Amino acid sequence: MAKILFVMTGADHWTLEDGTRHATGFWAEEAVVPYEAFRAAGHEVVVATPGGVVPPVDKGSLAAEVNGGQEGADRVAAALDTMTELRHPVRLEDVDLGDYAAVFYPGGHGPMEDLAVDATSGRVLVEVLESGKPLGVVCHGPAALLAAVKEDGSNAFAGYRIAAFTNAEELQAGLGEKARWLLQDRLTEAGVDVQVGEPWAPNVVVDRSLVTGQNPASSAPLAAELLKKLG
């Protein structure tokens, strides 16, 4: 059994171009599906957030229409209720990476607000990348990669192939035109090689120790790839 660190957003909103706050948090499926896969494989999960705040769930991610119907929505909500780790996060600032075999970042728009500019998270990402430990990041989670800046000012993930929530998906979801910046664009500007798949279809990219997924549909195959790396 290994310990897997879930680094999650503490933000309950995403500030849009006009200054308004879009209510958000983490995307339920992107936490629930990998959590269940890791626990079923016998691993322990520890949740960490900036400041140790309880990660807020994006209420939109609990809606029937994004969970294949009400039955799916009820199942995800029930699963969240059983994830006691969400209610007792540790402070990201206190994390010792040596305690963990792998690290995972779920998405949701929350990371666009806090983890994208969080220096502590950035240091954790640089450290896990240099350690060679498996690192999984899905959907908007790759916003956190923007804060992973090395001493020379370059991004630690420059040259890596990844999947992340795309411009096309952001536009189709209705927030692309309102955003201050788009994730695909910022990652590309940082030198990260974003591998764009079909909107809303599973797309998982593996590059060395890094496993990334484009969207919620990528959560399950990403978790499977991360488990392979854990052996």
Predicted confidence (pLDDT) at residue 75 exceeds the cutoff of 90: yes
- pLDDT for the residue 43: 98
Q: Give the pLDDT score at 42.
A: 97
Say what percent of the chain tops pLDDT 70. 100
Identify the pLDDT of residue 187.
Answer: 98
pLDDT of residue 126: 97
**pLDDT digits 0-9 by tens, 114-154:** 999 999 999 999 999 999 999 999 999 999 999 999 999 99
pLDDT 10s digits, 157-178: 999 999 999 999 999 999 999 9
Residue 202 reports pLDDT greater than 90: yes
How much is the average pLDDT of 35-46?
Answer: 98
- Name the pTM for this structure: 0.97
Q: For residue 231, name the pLDDT band (cuts at 50, 70, 90).
A: confident
Write out the chain in H/E/C secondary structure.
Answer: CCEEEEECCCCCEEECCCCCEEECCECHHHHHHHHHHHHHCCCEEEEEEHHHCCCCECHHHHCHHHCCCHHHHHHHHHHHHHCHHHHCCEEHHHCCHHHCCEEEECCCCHHHHCHHHCHHHHHHHHHHHHHCCCEEEECCHHHHHHHCECCCCCECCCCCEECCCCHHHHHHCCCHHHCCCCHHHHHHHCCCEECCCCCCCCCEEEECCEEEECCHHHHHHHHHHHHHHHC
pLDDT at residue 44, rounded to an integer: 98
* Averaged confidence pLDDT in the chain: 97
List the structure tokens of 136.
């999984």
Q: What pLDDT does residue 12 have?
A: 98
